[in-house]
Structure 1
Amino acid sequence: MPIIKILPHPEYCPAGTEITAPSGTSICEALLDHKINIEHACDMSCACTTCHVIVREGFNSLNDLEETEEDLLDRAWGLEPNSRLSCQAFLATKDLVIEIPRYTINHAKENH
């Protein structure tokens, strides 16, 4: 199982952590399964950007971006060339290092 190293985030993961998840799992599902409650306002349907992450290592091991995800990413706060929507980025066999941006475009957080 690949390891996902999450860099420190003041709200979701203050000290940073490492988790494992089976190949084929989305980054968002892996985070939520390990009680890292990343925003996902559209319930992982690729309709918002609240689950945006920056993949610092392992980006090329993820599945290719679909056009819908690419279009949505243009609206994400803190967009970088290695940005992905965590609900659309599926793990392969390589380990990842991700950063959860400090902000989203969401004005109010929803409890999921």
Structure 2
Amino acid sequence: MPVIRILPHSEYCPQGTEITAPAGTSICEALLDNDIRIEHACDMSCACTTCHVIVREGFSSLNEPDEDEEDLLDRAWGLEPQSRLSCQAILAQQDVVVEIPKYTINHAKENH
């Protein structure tokens, strides 16, 4: 199973951590399954940008983003070339390192 290393985030994962998830799982699902409460206001339907992550390592091992995801990413806070919506980024067999940006475009948390 691939390992996801999450870089420290003051709210969601202050110390940073490593988790495992089966290939074929989205990064968002893996985070939520391991009690890392990343925002996902659209319930992982690729309709918002609140689950935006930056893939620092292993980006090329993920599935290709589709046009809908690329269009939404244009609205994400802190967009970088290795940005993905974690609900759409599907793990393969390679380990990845992700950073959860400090901010989202949401003014209020959804508390999923």
Structure 1 residue 81, shift from structure 2 partner: 0.1
| Correspondence for 1:9 | 9
Once superposed, which parts of structure 1, at least 4 consecutive aligned residues long, lie more than 6 Å away?
Answer: none
Q: Counterpart of 2:109?
A: 109
Whole-angstrom CA distance in 2 between matches of 1:45 and 1:98: 20
* Alpha-carbon distance in structure 2 between the residues aligned to 1:89 and 1:3: 14
In structure 1, list runs of 5 or more residues that go unmatched: none
1:52 and 2:52 aligned: yes
Question: In the TM superposition, what are the counterparts of 1:11-30 in structure 2 within 5 Å?
Answer: 11-30=11-30
Please give the TM-score of this superposition, normalised by the length of structure 1: 1.00
Residue deviations 1:33-78 (CA, integer Å, cap 9, x gap): 0000000000000000000000000000000010000000000000
| 1:9-49 Cα distance to aligned partner (Å, 9 max, x none) | 00000000000000000000000000000000000000000
Structure 2, unpaired ranges of 5+ = none
Letter in 1 for 2:61: S
Aligned-residue CA RMSD (Å) = 0.2
Q: Does 1:38 align with 2:38?
A: yes
Q: Alignment length, in residue pairs?
A: 112
For the residue of structure 2 that corresponds to 1:72, the secondary structure is helix
State the TM-score, normalized to the length of structure 2.
Answer: 1.00
